[in-house]
Structure 1
Amino acid sequence: MIRSYLGEHAPERLKGFSVSDSWTKALLYSINLTPRKGTSNRKEPSDWEEQIELMVLQIAYIAEKENIPPALITAFDHTGLQIMPVRNQTWAEVNADTVPLMHLDDYRQITGVVAEAMNDDMGGVVLGMQLVYQGTTDKCLPARDIRNNGDFPAVYSPGVMAYPMTYTYNHWADEETNMELFEALIIPYLQQTKVRLSLPPDQKAITLLDCWPVQKTASFRSRVKTRYPWLLLRYIPPKCTGKGQKFDVDGGGIVKPKIVARAQKYVESEFTRQMKEGIPADKVNVDVRLGTIKQRHLYWVKESMTEFAANMPARKKGWEKTRVPNAFTDAYKARARELHAQGKLFPPLPVPADDEEQPDPASDDISNEEQGVDSDDEEEGELELADMTLQPCEDDSEWKDGVKVKRKAACWRYVMCKFSEFQLEKIERVYCKISGPDFTVEHSGNTSNMRSHLTHVHKDVFCEMVSSAAGNGTGGGDGERARLVRGGKKHGHRLREESLLAEKILPSIAGDIWSEGGIAIFGIPVYWLTADGKCLERLLAAIPFSVVRHTADEIILATKRACSLMGIGSFIEGESPFDTVSDFVHATTSDSASNIVSGWKCFDGHECNCHIIALAVIKYLESPGVCNAIKKLRGMTTHFNHSVIGRHLLHDCQAKYELTSTSPPQDNATPGGWKGAFLMAEWKEAVQLYDVEHPKKAATAVNNPDGTKYGDHQMSGCDWDVVRESTYYVLCQHAAAIDLLQVTKTVTVSSILPVIGGRIYKVDPC
């Protein structure tokens, strides 16, 4: 800033003179300014050296036993990156209480995940950085033309760093983004290195990572072990990442300051440019809008990472500080063999106290074998440790201490509380079993926050919960697509239904794909008739489809797998497939989605009549001559639902005409809420009386969310005629037809999975 100011107002002073750091400090000190900065000290445990030493000895033993060379040691670390980074210090008056700083309150961030590897000379290779943005679609990422111009490859190749980009709802990395990191950076490097060193494809390798709760879950470790059985995960001891995590040791102090420096140069150049254009210094406005700065930030990151990767001496020194290269020395190998013979190399997991951090369980085959712990037993043991520190707030029974209690939602299997008494209304926060006892979720008297945490942080667990709900015939929690199964069958009924399915009664199935908390789910309900003509139903499957393309092939494959598991035919995949599912399914129904219709063409399928009727009604309500009246009707309904006084006055008018004192249904305000429209026909007299007795309020009241007032939606006599004729000649008739098809009195456009009527069922006694 000083250089820019002198260049604009006193350029002659810069001739033969440079604004050095020493001159700047002397100047600022002379006017009673001092640098101010806030710091936070890292707190390592007192025995961190012993913990790091033990970790290195374990790596030495594993590497020697599995013949793992240094080049197959990788590591990755997460770090927060401000999109508009600034230095957290400036010059201010001595003893100043406040230190204002431009853009210091700009908290827009992304997560950068840096992946590195040791090479043959242990100097290290930088594989790249995964960038996790905040958003729900790829529109939150930098512009497509920048992502595809070749400057930011998505997959690592020898000598070329990659910058895979992804997104989550809060820009925090999660299990899915970690798996994407393996696929884009770590696995390509390891596979290419094995080829270069003439090693077999199943040669073991090691990845170092910290004890972040998401990376310690059983589901994450299981996915890595299943997909890459040759990859061993080793965890940096808790609170020791400042000493044993490669990027924490050297990279964070190199890359981040370089990004900040480039951001400062951008601010300086903008400041200089605008001052040259005649804009006063106090009026300069640097463009830091997200759409502008996001693209620049991407290049700042790449340029800083390139400088970091080129500094071989610094990176080699960083690996040496972690002590990991010591694992490949003869002294450490001998010491590791000695400790292993004494049974001290892989000590048993201690039981933590209430205020201690839970130890990290081992997560690879060797450590499990050496500790005498099977992989499956270990995962159960992890939950047992959690149960020792916190009292579970889950109870599968309906009675406790002689008192009948409410059955818990499925998400209570994954959270717990410290309260021993069974009184949920007293609980303010609960503890996540998966993330660890240090991570709490607000309870707020219901399960919505807990379900949201599982949905966004532990997606696999949420999908497992939904699938479990499908197998149990009950809902997985609040809002799971109308509880996933209408009516919630009891246990005895469920056994009876399964026995009926085993009697080879041909069922009918329905299907739909919907989104629950950002996760796509493919639902398959099954319906059939009993010998006495009673229609039964249950949810056959709820299959996560977030990582599966919604193609016809994937849909039919998922359908046949689900049917086969329930005994509806047999389906065996492989070189010699065996498929009899089609012979056991009588009929299918779905909406008009082409992927489901095409995937189920091997069945005797039908489109969903209820869905088609509902779409036809919506099309009718959008037709000229009808849409204006319906729009006014919905605007008027919205007014009465948002105005307490207006609703009270309407009730008075209803009482005068001896009409039922009710409020307009809110579904009128939605395009699909057409059933409530013909109820308004009964309120014609009350609404018209409201218009006459309260003309001022009727004309000027502004209560609608869109800013419109009630007078904008007043109904004329012609409008009421349109509503009346539409009600009696269209809406009522179509509602009755849907009632017959659904065998229910609830009519909504979202009923894409209806109960199929008796017309498309038949019972095969064989």
Structure 2
Amino acid sequence: MAIDLLDAGYSGREIASVRHSGHIEGVWQDRKELEIEFINLLNELMDGSVGFNSVIIQFQLRAFLQVRCKEILWEEGGSFDISRSFMKKWVKDRLGWSYRKATTPASHLPTTWKEMGSLMISHLAYLVFAYGIPMELVINSDETGVQLPPVGNLHSFRLKGCREVSIQGQGNKRMITVMVSSNAEGEMLPGQVIFEGSTFRSHPHCSEARALTSQGWNLTQSVTHWTTLETLQEFVEKLLVPWIASTCRRLGLDPKKQKSVWITDCYKVHLRKEFREWMKDHYPLIIILLVPANTTSKLQPADVVLMRPFKCAIQRNSA
């Protein structure tokens, strides 16, 4: 139903915006029957697990008015805008919906996560003290999936208090994986971007991609876009090891003798025997410290410190 409405043929000039002046009636003034009809439409779509954000609801309302009440677009001598602020306030006040992240079967935070965190910190403190590792060589990395386009961010309006947020077609999306890293002094390492594909032809050919590679970023690919043994080894060889070596030289340390700590989570590729043995054979000076399983939301520094502003920046720039 939503697709049929969006194909109704409205033009940009025909649609303008209800300027938000604090009066929530707005476009619905004296048109309560239309408002009820539109609410029923949204509820029907929500029951079908269709994802909603303010942009999608804006388009739904524009298409709805084009089909059901086109004359409203020309009242008072011109067109009007359906502003996002109006849409958000109307959804909140009139429908009682709140903006929620889509839920999926997920691991639960262990009740002993604080104790696990204390042990992790104690382990890190021991490594730093025992091997004389400077904070510049305590490195933390984390991967995240980025949806393309980023408007579909697996958030949707739902009734307040709703615990389960199912969105139809969550798997029908194109994504990339981005690995970000920083050290304990707050210095950022170049990142890795993994595109879906089997050859370099899956990489974007644009000025932005060239700018990233010129800054030391690694653009690579995997069949599923997720981190694989090959892409993880590529990250170590092309980003992590060169960065550690240059940092050692900057600090007056010998890269062939100085140990470092690499903090990462218990992602399945990180735990693979092949990867662990490969690291021991080729890079024994890099000590891998794993964040306890199912505690990344609390104990993974990059997840708490880096990923949130990173994802907010993506969403903000896509608006």
- Counterpart position of 2:288: 233
Structure 1 contact 115–186 (Cα < 8 Å) conserved: no
Against the structure 1 CA distance between its residues 89 and 167, is the aligned structure 2 distance closer, same or farther, given a 3 Å change threshold? closer
C-alpha distance in 2, partners of 1:27/1:144?
A: 40
2: CA distance, partners of 1:230 / 1:209: 16
CA deviation string 1:657-680 (max 9, x = no partner):
xxxxxxxxxxxxxxxxxxxxxxxx
User: 1:259: Cα distance to partner?
Assistant: 1.5
Letter in 2 for 1:34: W
Q: Any idea what SS the aligned residue of 2:189 has?
A: strand
- Of 182, 198, 219, the residue aligned with 1:116 is 182
Aligned AA for 1:193? T
Are positions 1:175 and 2:229 aligned together? yes
Secondary structure at 1:153 match in 2: helix
Distance 1:193 1:103, change over 3 A: same
Could you say which residue in structure 2 is the equivalent of 1:275?
none
Alignment pair present for 1:250 and 2:250: no
Alignment partners' CA distance in 2, 1:187 and 1:168? 21
**Residue in 2 that maps onto 1:260:** 315
* Aligned twin of 1:129: 191
* Paired letter, 1:163: W
Structure 2 SS opposite 1:80: strand
Q: CA deviation at 1:25?
A: 3.8
Amino acid at match of 2:212: F
Percent of pairs with identical residues: 24
Structure-2 separation of matches of 1:164 and 1:100: 35
- 2:147: which partner in 1? 82
Distance 2:167 2:110 in 1: 34
Aligned to 1:28: 91
State the 1:233 CA deviation.
1.1
Does the alignment pair 1:194 with 2:248? yes
| 1:115–1:185 contact (8 Å) kept in structure 2 | no
**Larger RCO: Structure 1 or Structure 2 (Cα < 8 Å, ≥ 6 residues apart)?**
2
1:19–1:172 distance in 2 versus 1, CA, 3 Å: closer
SS class of match (1:194): helix
- Name the SS of the counterpart of 1:127 in structure 2: coil
Q: Deviations over 1:348-373 (max 9, x none)?
A: xxxxxxxxxxxxxxxxxxxxxxxxxx
Residue-by-residue CA offset, 1:711-749 (whole Å, 9 max, x unaligned): xxxxxxxxxxxxxxxxxxxxxxxxxxxxxxxxxxxxxxx
After TM superposition, the score normalised by the length of structure 2 is 0.65
CA distance in 2, matches of 1:125, 1:219: 30
Contact 1:134 1:171 in 2 (8 A): yes
Three-state SS of the structure 2 residue aligned to 1:211 is: coil
Distance in 2, matches of 1:144 and 1:13, equals 37
CA distance in 2, matches of 1:188, 1:69: 17
Distance 1:19 1:61, change over 3 A: same
Counterpart residue type for residue 142 of structure 2: D
Counterpart for residue 217 of structure 1: 272
Answer whether contact 2:147 2:153 (CA < 8 A) is retained: no
Q: Is contact 1:210-1:237 (8 Å) kept?
A: yes
Matched residues, number? 244
Instruction: State the one-letter code of the partner of 1:84.
Output: P
C-alpha change, 1:103 and 1:257, in structure 2 (3 Å) is: farther
Question: Which amino acid in the other structure matches residue 58 of structure 1?
Answer: H
Cα distance in 2 for partners of 1:100, 1:64 equals 48
Query: Who is 1:63 aligned against?
Result: 128
Q: Distance in 1 between matches of 2:274 and 2:283?
A: 14
- Taking the aligned partners of 2:286 and 2:167, their CA distance within structure 1 comes to 46
CA contact (8 A) 2:145 2:176 kept: yes
Please state how far the C-alpha of 1:65 moved relative to its aligned partner.
Answer: 1.3
Shift of 1:103: 8.4
- Could you give the per-residue CA deviations for residues 7-49 of structure 1, whole angstroms, max 9, x where no partner exists? 89787878xxx9574x544433455462353554762111111
Counterpart for residue 213 of structure 2? 153
Structure 1 contact 113–129 (Cα < 8 Å) conserved: yes
Checking the alignment, whether the CA contact within 8 Å between 2:98 and 2:158 is kept in structure 1 is yes
Is 1:5 equivalent to 2:16 in the alignment? yes
Distance 2:212 2:80 in 1: 43
* Structure 1 residue 219 displacement after superposition: 2.1
C-alpha change, 1:109 and 1:258, in structure 2 (3 Å) is same
Cα RMSD of the aligned pairs, angstroms, is: 3.5
Amino acid in the other structure paired with 1:126: M
> Could you give the per-residue CA deviations for residues 417-444 of structure 1, whole angstroms, max 9, x where no partner exists?
xxxxxxxxxxxxxxxxxxxxxxxxxxxx
Q: Which residue of 2 aligns with 1:563?
A: none
Closer/same/farther in 2, CA of residues 111 and 26 from structure 1, 3 Å limit: closer
2:110 maps to a residue whose letter is P
* 2:141 partner SS: strand
Partners of 1:24 and 1:81 lie apart in 2 by 26
Return the offset for 1:227: 2.2
* Contact persistence 2:263–2:289 (CA under 8 A): yes
2:202 matched to 1:140?
yes
Give the gaps of 5 or more residues in structure 2. 1-11, 19-72
1:100-142: CA deviation from partner (whole Å, max 9, x where unpaired): 98986642112111122122xxxx1221321111211111111
- The answer to whether the 8 Å contact 1:133/1:167 transfers is yes
Q: How does 1:337-486 map to 2 (within 5 A)?
A: none
Structure number, greater radius of gyration? 1
Task: Tell whether 2:66 aligns with 1:37.
Answer: no
Deviation (angstroms), 1:70: 0.8
* Structure 2 contact 17–83 (Cα < 8 Å) conserved: no
CA contact (8 A) 1:140 1:167 kept: yes
The 1-side partners of 2:168 and 2:293 are apart by: 36
How has the CA–CA distance of structure 1 residues 117 and 37 changed in structure 2, closer, same or farther, with 3 Å as cutoff?
same
When residues 25 and 182 of structure 1 are mapped into structure 2, their CA distance, relative to the original with a 3 A threshold, is same
Amino acid at match of 1:113: M
Alpha-carbon distance change, 216 to 103 in structure 1, aligned in 2, over 3 angstroms: closer
In 1, Cα distance between equivalents of 2:277 and 2:160? 56
Q: TM-score, normalised by structure 1?
A: 0.29
Residues 437-477 of structure 1: per-residue CA shift (max 9 Å, x gap): xxxxxxxxxxxxxxxxxxxxxxxxxxxxxxxxxxxxxxxxx
1:235-634 mapped onto 2 (5 Å cutoff): 235-263=290-318, 265=319
Q: Confirm or deny: 8 A CA contact 2:139 2:183 kept in the other structure.
A: yes
In structure 2, what is the equivalent of residue 761 of structure 1? none
- After superposition, the C-alpha distances for 1:480-539 in whole angstroms (9 at most, x for unaligned) are xxxxxxxxxxxxxxxxxxxxxxxxxxxxxxxxxxxxxxxxxxxxxxxxxxxxxxxxxxxx
Which amino acid in the other structure matches residue 313 of structure 2?
A: K
Q: Is the 8 A contact 1:153 1:163 kept in 2?
A: yes
Match of 2:119 in 1: 54
Secondary structure of residue in 1 paired with 2:17? helix
**2 CA distance for matches of 1:20 and 1:144?**
31
Q: CA deviation at 1:225?
A: 2.3
Structure 1 residues 35 and 71: CA distance shift in structure 2, 3 A: same
